[in-house]
Amino acid sequence: MSLKPSDRPIRSFVIRASRATGSQRKALEQHWDTHVIPYEAGLLDFKKHFADTRQLTVEIGFGMGDSLLKMAQADPQSNFLGIEVHRPGVGKLLHGIAQHNLHNLKIMCHDATEVIANCFDPQSVDRLLIFFPDPWPKKRHHKRRIIQAEFVELLATRLAEGGVLHLATDWEAYALHMMEVLENEPTLINWSGAGKYCDSPARPETKFEHRGRRLGHRVWDLVFEKAGS
> Which amino acids are annotated catalytic?
134
> How many positions of this chain bind ligand SAM (CB under 6 A)?
23
Identity of the residue, 56 or 146, whose beta carbon is nearer to ligand SAM in the bound complex = 146
Letters for 78-117 (x = contact with ligand SAM by CB under 6 A, - = none) are -----xxxx--x---------------------xxx----
Q: Where in 41-60 is the site for ligand SAM (CB under 6 A)?
A: 60
The least distance separating ligand SAM from the CB of residue 210, rounded to whole angstroms, comes to 8
135/84 Cα distance (integer angstroms): 16
Q: Where in 61-80 is the site for ligand SAM (CB under 6 A)?
A: 61-63
Report the 10 Å Cβ neighbour count for 227: 14
The least distance separating ligand SAM from the CB of residue 109, rounded to whole angstroms, comes to 8
Report the 10 Å Cβ neighbour count for 149: 12
Q: Please name the helix (run of DSSP H) or strand (run of DSSP E) that holds residue 164, with its range, or none.
A: strand 159-169
Check residue 40 and give left, alpha or beta (phi > 0: left; psi -120 to 50: alpha).
beta
Across-strand partners of 35? none
**C-alpha angle 76/78/83, rounded to 5°?**
105
**Using CB under 6 A as the criterion, which residues of the chain lie in contact with ligand SAM when the complex forms?**
12-13, 60-63, 83-86, 89, 111-113, 131-134, 146, 206-209
